Copies of this chain bind each other. A is one copy, B any other.
Amino acid sequence: MIKNDLFLRALRGETVSRPPVWMMRQAGRYLPEFMAIREKYDFFTRCQTPELASEITVQPIRRYGMDAAILFSDILVIPQAMGIEVQMKPDFGPYLPHPIRSKKEVDAIRVPDAAEALDYVMQAIRMTKEKLADEVPLIGFAGSPWTILCYCVQGQGSKSFDKAKALCFSDPRAAHALLQKITDTTIDYLKAKVRAGVDAVQVFDSWGGMLSPEDYQEFSWHYIQQIIDALKEDTEVIVFGKGCWFALGEMAKSGASAIGIDWTCSARNARYLTGGKITLQGNFDPARLLSPPDEITRRVTEMIRAFGKDRYIANLGHGILPNIPLENARAFVDAVKNFKE
């Protein structure tokens, strides 16, 4: 039994004394203790070494006492497990030297045994669960198949992911074959994570908001729904699609336990578009953590009032930025923990 089960209770829609709080990318570069590890080990060493990944995961919990931990890892471990080379270049981000651009290249990709190929993640989960000692729940995550396709095809980050979209729109059969392979791998991976001990999973659709509503259904949502269907009996599933306000109605009916909201969608719009009954998570603008701490406290309190304290998980609307002062991150977490109706 988890001692602080606020997060799980909010996911189940139960009445709570205050909303739970965590921050996307809370194990990140704004923390000096994270930077100390980052100076010594490169990105994939940190991901692939269970001692490091588990240590990084619990760092923000020790400092701020969030109500949930999220396993330090990366969405691109999935293409790596599928045999696609992924590099993390300093000051550049992910770089895939052999991007997938044709049906033939898609056909050559294998669907691995994800539990085996990503055993280091499972070890990191078990080690993190020991360190957390049932104090708070642990979240596991994966990228959405569309978001993973974006990197596999584009080969790097992009403002428009034009090459990824070019494959979808000029050769939809190739795109769908790739999406299905990514989906199958992701389901296998998330099921293994649940067996290893995570208490909930979150699917990040970082680039879903680049698609029109119709294309989103075809190239992104169709596959996220497969993941939810495969996982929802085993664990709580949170879906977060950045810029995907137009799909919130569909998401609310999907069987997911909660829907992540970004800061461009007001609490009122989010409740309206999701039908008012499902747990929502979000949606503080990460850049608003650059406001003075007093203002952060005021704005967080307003945000909770706008969403309502129940069926709500306080979070940012995207990952925390590297340049956020420590006291500002604290103001965010504490404002939620001190919330009174």
Instruction: Tell whether, in the assembled complex, residue A285 and residue B215 are in contact, meaning their CB atoms are under 8 Å apart.
Output: yes
A290 touches B165 (CB 8 A): yes
A45 smallest CB distance to B (angstroms): 26
Q: With A213-B266, A264-B209, A266-B246 in contact, is A287–B160 under 8 Å at CB?
A: yes
Checking B170, B211, B245, B285 against A212 with a beta-carbon cut-off of 8 angstroms, the contacting residue is: B285
What is the CB-to-nearest-CB distance from A106 to chain B, in angstroms, rounded to a whole number?
18
Number of residues in A with C-beta < 8 Å to the partner?
Answer: 32
Contacting A169 at CB < 8 Å: which of B209, B213, B290? B290
- A265 close to B (CB within 8 Å): yes
A226 in the interface, Cβ–Cβ < 8 Å?
A: no
Taking the complex as formed, is A133 at the interface, i.e. its CB lies under 8 A from any CB of chain B?
no
Given A159-B159, A243-B264, A266-B246: A212 and B288 interface contact (C-beta under 8 Å): yes
Contact B160–A321 (Cβ < 8 Å): yes
Query: Are A265 and B246 interface neighbours, CB within 8 A?
Result: yes
A287 touches B323 (CB 8 A): no
With the chains together, A169 CA to B290 CA distance in Å? Answer: 6
A292: Cβ under 8 A from any B Cβ: yes
Report if A162 contacts B (CB, 8 A).
yes
A212 to B318 alpha-carbon distance, docked (Å): 12
- A326 is an interface residue with CB less than 8 A from chain B: no
5 nearest CB pairs, A to B: A165-B287, A212-B263, A169-B291, A166-B290, A169-B290
Q: List 24 A-B contacts (CB under 8 A).
A: A157-B159, A160-B286, A160-B287, A160-B321, A162-B290, A162-B323, A165-B287, A165-B288, A165-B290, A166-B287, A169-B290, A169-B291, A209-B243, A211-B285, A212-B285, A213-B266, A214-B266, A215-B285, A215-B288, A245-B245, A246-B264, A246-B265, A246-B266, A246-B269
